[in-house]
């Protein structure tokens, strides 16, 4: 099957445990709604190329904070398509280009690893994560 996108939904408050562990495969052939849905229904989602090491860094960092983010891994051949879909959703302050890996918090584009790292060090990240319900304590 060409160009599948799998979403390992490791964390989602609204779904049951069993479902959340199941890797979610979705086809986005001409259907931007699926990407939008995944982004909107996860409090925190990391989107990046398949096997991307920087994605891994973001995920590890969030895990260290006690947040288990969903991870959407994109195959190379679908990258442009998914990126153009992403650019239509939840960009703060209107359009703009999305760079991978991208982190969405509360259905909106938060930024790349740079932003995650900077807000983490300045202590702003945890309050933001609490605000969207990704972190309780």
Binding site for other proteins (CB under 8 A): 51-54, 56-58, 60-61, 64-65, 113-114, 117-118, 120-123
Residue written as token pair 């979705």: 26
Minimum distance of other proteins from residue 130's CB (angstroms): 15
- Residue (38 or 58) nearer to other proteins, CB: 58
Nearest approach, Cβ of residue 44 and other proteins (Å): 15
Residue nearer to other proteins on the CB measure, 13 or 118: 118
Q: How far is the CB of 61 from other proteins (least distance, A)?
A: 4
DSSP at 84: H
Residue 60 or residue 93: which is nearer to other proteins going by CB? 60
CB of 136 to other proteins, least distance (A): 18
CB nearer to other proteins: pick between 36 and 120: 120
28-36, Cβ contacts within 8 angstroms, sequence gap of 24 or more: 28/78, 28/81, 28/82, 28/85, 29/3, 32/85, 32/88, 35/5, 35/72, 35/82, 35/85, 35/86, 35/89, 36/85, 36/88, 36/89
């Amino acid at each position: 099957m060409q160009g599948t996108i799998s979403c390992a939904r490791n964390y989602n408050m609204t779904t049951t445990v069993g479902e959340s562990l199941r890797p979610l495969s979705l086809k986005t052939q001409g259907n931007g709604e699926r990407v939008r849905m995944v982004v909107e229904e996860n409090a925190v989602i990391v989107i990046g190329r398949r096997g991307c090491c920087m994605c891994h860094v973001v995920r590890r960092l969030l895990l260290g904070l006690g947040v288990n983010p969903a991870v959407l891994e994109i195959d190379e051949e679908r990258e442009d398509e998914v990126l153009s879909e992403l650019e239509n959703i939840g960009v703060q302050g209107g359009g703009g280009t999305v760079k991978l890996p991208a982190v969405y918090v509360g259905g909106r584009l938060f930024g790349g690893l740079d932003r995650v790292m900077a807000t983490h060090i300045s202590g702003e990240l945890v309050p933001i994560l609490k605000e969207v319900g990704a972190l309780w304590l």
